[in-house]
Amino acid sequence: MAASGSWSQDNWHLRPNRNGTCFVHRGRPEPLDLHLGMFLPTLLTQATPEQQDRFFMPAWNLEIIGTYAQTEMGHGTHLRGLETTATYDPATQEFILNSPTVTSIKWWPGGLGKTSNHAIVLAQLYTQGQCKGLHAFIVPIRQLGTHKPLPGITVGDIGPKFGYDEMDNGYLKMDNFRIPRENMLMKYAQVEPDGTYVKPLSDKLTYGTMVFIRSLIVGDAARSLSQACTIAIRYSAVRHQSELKPGEPEPQILDYQTQQYKLFPLLATAYAFHFVGAYMKDTYRRISGDINEGDLSGLPELHALTAGLKAFTSWTASAGIEECRMACGGHGYSRCSGIPDIYVTFTPSCTYEGENTVMMLQTARFLVKSYNQVISGQRVTGMVSYLNDLSRQRIQPQHVAARTVTVRINDPVSLVEAYKARAAWFVEAAAKNLQAELNHRKSKEDAWNRTSVDLVRASEAHCHYVIVKLFTAKLSEISNAAVRAVMTELCLLYALYGISKNTGDFLQAGILTDAQITQVNQRVKELLAIIRPNAVALVDSFDFHDVHLGSVLGRYDGNVYENMFEWAKKSPLNNTEVHESFHKHLKPMQAKL
């Protein structure tokens, strides 16, 4: 393909300008985000070489501007429930696309409202009288040149949202809209001219773009949480408040242990997520290469890992960003802090590209399947290989055994074993509870629903283990002894803080004793004091420039108060000394008094 040397999924964020050169897109959402982040990658991964020749260069040059239309008004994460149809007509060799119900209207795709002239539409494929499930189609929606909607297309913007004001999230309704057969993305599944369906090696191959985006969200969680931590920790070093000792100067609020307890575990989490994001990117690239060679064995775990980690990291980062806002006191609520914009921009990731609870249940399905394989005598590989240890233990059918683990709380490797034991305990407990429900002659669906809280907890424990494992593994790759020592302190804080917040799990599973929990809580407080001297340097190392951070409180030079006053003076309400509302409302009201 002509453009393959200049564009790949590794530089998806590079955007061409009119001169053909590129710059990095950062910061606020933009209407072209889905064109760059989903439309182009989907062409690369799911289009045939012939389709790439037709569509990729026009899309790269922004003649074609695309979006990714999957979610509907009535269905999002439950893909099998999507109602949009694409019915093949062999007489004309065309697909007829329809939105048969109100709930089938495509809803939410970014850039769809006013920007895009094409969409990759996911629809239920019908051919030769049979439904073949969800497939992707390249659908022109606006006339090139005039940008007017094509006949049979109803398209527009969905209206104001919680945030994302810059993004024209849109709706799309199709009425008997015809596209050529060649507009179905056919790298994996095909429809031949006579309507014969050629199925893909795996149904999950169609969902490659979603897996790709979920892997990116992990990195985005790290980035957004890192930005919030940078603002809150820098501001906490500038802000002086109250007294630690009577008569002495007001200390930096970063010197208060309670402030450290709010912020330093989040700082450790940001580093952990950064390493996990890099791992996910490498894993996606590796398994995508295997798939291109015809090896699909890594696909189930990739799907499970991206789903679970997308949910775990976005939930944690969203809550963490809000914690950083509150740690900045009243000024954190001002948009000049930068944190409100970070929050409203990031928090939708908890529901887009898969609602998080549903994502956790998808991961749980893989965990239960892996557990059942182990119980039946098979061995499992990858991040679930810890389940192999269960086959060596003699356990009563309804009893979940306590794990025998010797935990050294100052050793990250030992803490990985503790998290591993916790994950195994939760997976086994959920699997046994599921089997107990099935034994009551309930349907599989009922049993799954009645066990779903346990299944989500199992997935959370598994994801938490994966993150501690990857953070710990990263330490051995750091050659600089001083840097490795600081990273080890952060790793210990991340792991021990996680234990302190989930003490019941580790006690119930018999992994830690009461005395060890007391030691963990004490060690967390010690680590706060150890990390304090390096805290500002640790956020500076994220290297966010002021222009990208967009925060008065988090300025690199620490010159907060003067700039806050200057920022406030630029408020539109200050354009006039006496606002028009005085003459329009206040003065007439006062005249009547």
Active-site residue list:
353
The per-residue DSSP string of 523-534 comes to HHHHHHHHHGGG
Report in angstroms the alpha-carbon separations of 324 from 228, 318, 370: 6, 10, 38
Token code pair at residue 423: 């994950």
- State whether the Cα torsion 290-2-4-61 is positive or negative: negative
Which DSSP helix (H) or strand (E) runs through 137? strand 130-140
In eight-state DSSP terms, residue 399 is: -
Residues in the chain: 593
β-pair type (85-89, 118-127) = parallel
Separation of alpha carbons 263 and 235, rounded Å: 12
Provide the phi-psi class of 145: left if phi over 0, else alpha when psi is between -120 and 50, else beta.
left
Instruction: Using CB atoms within 10 Å of the CB of residue 355, give its burial: 0 to 12 exposed, 13 to 18 middle, 19+ buried.
Output: middle
Question: Exposed (0-12), middle (13-18) or buried (19+): which is 565, by Cβ within 10 Å?
Answer: exposed
According to DSSP, the residues that pair with 387 across neighbouring strands are none
DSSP helix/strand/coil, 511: coil
- How do beta strands 118-127 and 66-69 pair? parallel
User: How far apart are the C-alpha atoms of 353 and 307, rounded to whole Å?
Assistant: 9
Give the whole-angstrom CA distance, residue 524 versus residue 378.
40
CA 571, chain centre distance (Å):
34
Angle among Cα 335, 337, 341 to the nearest 5 degrees reads 55
d(CA 481, CA 490): 14
